[in-house]
A and B are shown apart, each in its own frame.
Chain A
Amino acid sequence: MFDRIYAYRKADKQRGVTGETVHLFVFRTTKRRCIIFEAHEFSTCPLMVVKFFDKAHKLSDKRFSLLNGSNEAGSIIRTALEIMLELYKSNPFLSFAFMGAPDEDGDLRETRRFRIYREMLKRLFSDLDFQHIQQKEKSLYVLLNRNYCGTQPERQNDIFSTLANHYPEAKPE
Chain B
Amino acid sequence: MNATISVNDVSGIVRSGNIAVKSLQAARSLEAWVAAMGTKIFTGIAYAFTLPFLLILWVLLEVVVRRLNKRRPPSMPLHAQNYKAFRLRFQELTALSNTLRPIAAIDVSRETWLNRMFAKQAVKVAKIVIQHRDAMDGALQALDKPYAPLPNGWNVFTSDKRWEGRPTPYEYIV
What residues make up the interface of A, taking CB atoms closer than 8 Å to B? 2, 81, 85, 88, 118, 122-135, 137-138, 140-142, 144, 149-150, 153-157, 160, 164, 170, 172-173
Q: Which residue of B lies closest to A144 (CB)?
A: B147
Give 27 pairs: A residue, B residue, CB < 8 Å, sorted on A: A85-B173, A122-B162, A123-B170, A124-B173, A125-B174, A127-B83, A127-B143, A127-B144, A128-B78, A128-B80, A128-B83, A131-B143, A131-B146, A131-B156, A132-B156, A133-B146, A133-B150, A133-B155, A134-B154, A134-B155, A149-B147, A154-B148, A156-B150, A157-B148, A172-B152, A172-B153, A173-B153
Complex alpha-carbon distance, A128 and B84, angstroms: 11
Interface of A is mostly: mixed
Which B residues touch A85, using CB under 8 A?
A: 173-174
The answer on a CB contact under 8 Å between B152 and A133 is no
Give the distance in Å from the alpha carbon of A74 to the alpha carbon of B42 in the complex. Answer: 73
Evaluate contact between B155 and A124: CB separation under 8 angstroms.
Answer: no
Which B residues, 127 to 174, have Cβ-Cβ distances below 8 Å to chain A?
143-144, 146-148, 150-157, 159, 162, 166-167, 170, 172-174
- Asked if B151 and A126 make an inter-chain contact with CB atoms under 8 angstroms apart, the answer reads no
Question: Is the beta-carbon distance between B172 and A137 smaller than 8 angstroms?
Answer: no
Q: Describe B's contact surface by its main secondary structure.
A: loop
Interface size for B (C-beta < 8 A) is: 26
Across the interface, name the chain B residue whose C-beta is closest to A118: B157
Q: Flag if B157 contacts A134 (CB, 8 Å).
A: yes
User: Do the beta carbons of A127 and B162 come within 8 Å of each other?
Assistant: yes
Residue of A nearest to B162 (CB): A122
CA distance A2 to B172 in the complex (A): 12
Q: Are A123 and B167 in contact (CB under 8 A)?
A: yes
Q: Given B147, B151, B170, which contacts A172 in the complex, CB threshold below 8 Å?
A: B151
Q: Indicate whether B40 reaches chain A with its CB closer than 8 angstroms.
A: no
Tell me, rounded to whole Å, the shortest Cβ–Cβ distance linking B162 to chain A: 5
Known contacts: A131-B156, A135-B154, A138-B153. The answer to whether A156 contacts B147 by CB under 8 A is yes
Contact indicator B83/A126 (Cβ below 8 Å): yes
Q: Which residues of A contact B174 (CB under 8 A)?
A: 85, 88, 124-126, 128-130
